[in-house]
Amino acid sequence: MDGPYEHPYPSPELAAAHPFVEYAFERHSDEEMAQRARAFREESERRRSVRLFSPDPVPRELVEEAVLAASTAPSGAHKQPWTFVGTRDPEVKAAIRVAAEEEERVNYLQNRMNDEWLEALAPLGTDHHKEFLEVAPWIVVLFEQRFEQRSDGTTRKNYYVKESTGIAAGMFITAIHRMGLATLTHTPSPMAFLRRLLGRPDNERPFVMFPIGFPLDGARVPDLRRKPLDEVFVEVDRLE
């Protein structure tokens, strides 16, 4: 571990107090890196949010793989402050649909969303009907853990809970897409009903809900454009 560092990491004192292991990093050729980068970008471009699902079943193992992939997300102080709660039970899914539609009815029909919000949503054609919550074979609700609840009854702080859970959500969506399934990032706000319906503890708060399955044959999606690189990436090459 020779290198240019005056202050090595871990320091000998740190390494004596806490275990460290060598990072099993695999370096690829420049060509292979470019090829992998392009392939991942192209595959990412094919991902779409789906609002019409087929009822075809999805094995639990696939959902577990996506949860494990998402759980590799970096998190503040490595607290992994998330719980993925999955259900394929028709009664549970039906109860989630009823409660979500109740909230969304208020959002869409009783002015809980302002005009600007409704205008932004117009191209997506979303409304208060959430039939897909019953049709999709799985619903996975991602909960953020506001604090850590230990089995001995004590609690500990979690750090950067929203940032960490958001990164895990992104990795979950990507894992689902890569394995050949589809999902929707769904937030029928307020989502407090999910904690009650799914019997989750006080320290957990619903973050996003993911219906998961295969798209219905012929399902259509809004014809959206994604921002070009120059609108989402800026390189700063001198000190301002």
Ligand X SMILES: Cc1cc2nc3c(=O)[nH]c(=O)nc-3n(C[C@H](O)[C@H](O)[C@H](O)COP(=O)(O)O)c2cc1C
If 0-12 CB within 10 Å is exposed, 13-18 middle and 19+ buried, where does residue 62 land? middle
Q: Does 186 bind ligand X (CB under 6 A)?
A: yes
Among 83, 107, 126, 164, binds ligand X (CB under 6 A): 126
Q: Does 184 bind ligand X (CB under 6 A)?
A: yes
Type of residue numbered 41: R
Among 51, 158, 164, 211, binds ligand X (CB under 6 A): 51
Q: Does 174 bind ligand X (CB under 6 A)?
A: no
Beta carbon of residue 64, minimum distance to ligand X (angstroms, whole number): 23
Q: Do the strands 182-183 and 82-87 form a parallel or antiparallel pair, or are they unpaired?
A: unpaired
**Binding-residue total with ligand X (CB under 6 A):** 12
Q: Does 93 bind ligand X (CB under 6 A)?
A: no
Q: Does 130 bind ligand X (CB under 6 A)?
A: no
Nearer to ligand X, 85 or 186 (CB): 186
Stretch that binds ligand X, among 44-52, 112-120, 136-144, 152-160 (CB under 6 A): 44-52
Nearer to ligand X, 185 or 203 (CB): 185
Among 49, 71, 149, 174, binds ligand X (CB under 6 A): 49
Nearer to ligand X, 148 or 163 (CB): 163
Stretch that binds ligand X, among 13-21, 29-37, 46-54, 88-96 (CB under 6 A): 46-54
Cβ contacts of 158-164, under 8 Å, gap ≥ 24: 158/76, 158/77, 158/79, 158/81, 159/76, 159/77, 159/79, 159/81, 160/75, 160/76, 161/76, 161/79, 161/81, 162/207, 163/76, 164/73, 164/74, 164/75, 164/76, 164/79, 164/80, 164/81, 164/82
Among 77, 124, 179, 192, binds ligand X (CB under 6 A): 124
* Residues 194-233 within binding reach of ligand X (CB under 6 A): 221, 224
Among 56, 109, 187, 192, binds ligand X (CB under 6 A): 187
Stretch that binds ligand X, among 4-12, 21-29, 181-189, 229-237 (CB under 6 A): 181-189
* Beta bridge partners of residue 139, listed in sequence order: 87, 211
Q: Does 185 bind ligand X (CB under 6 A)?
A: yes
Footprint on this chain of ligand X (rule: CB under 6 A): 48-49, 51, 124, 126, 184-188, 221, 224
